[in-house]
Amino acid sequence: MTLEILTSDQLAPARHGFFTRKGGASSGVFSGLNCGTGSSDLSEAVSINRARVASAMDVAPEDLVGVHQVHSADVVTVVEPSAEKPRADALVTATPGIVLSVLTADCQPVLFADLQAGVIGAAHAGWRGALDGVLEATVDAMVAIGARRENIAAVIGPSISQRAYEVGPEFLDDFLMQDMENIRFFANGQGDRMHFDLPSYGLHRLREAGVRSADWIRHCTYSDADRFYSYRRSTHTGEADYGRLISAIRL
């Protein structure tokens, strides 16, 4: 089956893609293009899937660079490909031919590019990472290697939407402790439950960081099981594990 790759005109002509689960070798609950080496999927299937992604990005599999994601605000500057995966949640580079990649299953995958400077970035931004500043840290790291924040385009890929993201009062408290105006990213649910708008919050943080061109690709991971993996959906359906979507960009 052919891979399905979602792209954005804002990042063109940089080669990039938010890959859906279609076109992969995994089966069962991982059916499709599971690229998560940390999942309990067959390692052979994950390797095949990642090789297909590398081919789509026109690089060798070893040039597909990622990090060991820990919901942090830490960013790695990549100079050359490495099999090592430092504990971080974002990557930046000015080196042509390196593919920066992040894995998600409801969290925001965010791809960045300043094509005038030849600098790109990729971030895994769940609620904790976004709250702690991973998006701003990615922009700062790009600026440190030559980008100009006003020239950076940032696109949020498939993420969980507000309608599907029910949270409790403690979650809301974390956001209000940082900024009372964050209440605007929440909508009332049943009882003491709220619904959090993660993509809108991500766009807000990007614009506060000085990124003029920021957009969400407007696909909800929870609501479209045929195309996307979702941690929350797998939890609600009682599945033992879940696949990870990959998003990637290169110069």
Give residue 82's pLDDT.
85
- pLDDT category at 206 given cuts 50, 70, 90 is very high
H-helix segments, the chain: 43-56, 127-132, 134-144, 169-178, 198-208, 231-236
Alpha-carbon span 213 to 172, nearest angstrom: 28
Give residue 7's pLDDT.
98
Mean pLDDT of 82-111: 96
Mode of pairing for the β-strands spanning 15-19 and 166-167? unpaired
Alpha-carbon span 185 to 174, nearest angstrom: 13
- Taking Cα atoms as reference points, which of 52, 56, 30 lies closest to residue 41? 30
In the three-class reduction of DSSP (H, G, I as helix; E, B as strand; rest coil), residue 53 is classed as helix
Q: What architecture (CATH level 2) is domain 5-159+220-250?
A: 4-Layer Sandwich (3.60)
Instruction: List, for residues 49-75, the tens digit of each pLDDT value.
Output: 999 999 999 999 999 999 999 999 999
- Sign of dihedral through CA atoms 68, 203, 79, 63? positive
Q: Map out the domains of the chain as residue ranges.
A: 5-159+220-250
Q: Is residue 1 predicted with pLDDT exceeding 80?
A: no
Instruction: List, for residues 163-198, the tens digit of each pLDDT value.
Output: 999 999 999 999 999 999 999 999 999 999 999 999
Instruction: List, for residues 211-251, the tens digit of each pLDDT value.
Output: 989 999 999 999 999 999 999 999 999 999 999 999 999 99
| Burial tier of 63 (Cβ tally within 10 Å: 0-12, 13-18, 19+) | middle
User: Across all residues in the chain, what is the average pLDDT?
Assistant: 97
Residues 6+ apart with CB under 8 A from 210: 139, 149, 150, 152
Instruction: List, for residues 128-151, the tens digit of each pLDDT value.
Output: 999 999 999 999 999 999 999 999
Bridge partners (DSSP) listed for residue 113: 120, 153
- Retrieve residue 223's tokens: 């609501």
Q: Is residue 83 predicted with pLDDT exceeding 90?
A: no
Q: What Å distances lie between residue 73 and 29, 61, 141, 189, CA to CA?
A: 30, 26, 11, 29
Give residue 84's pLDDT.
87
The pTM assigned to this predicted structure is: 0.97
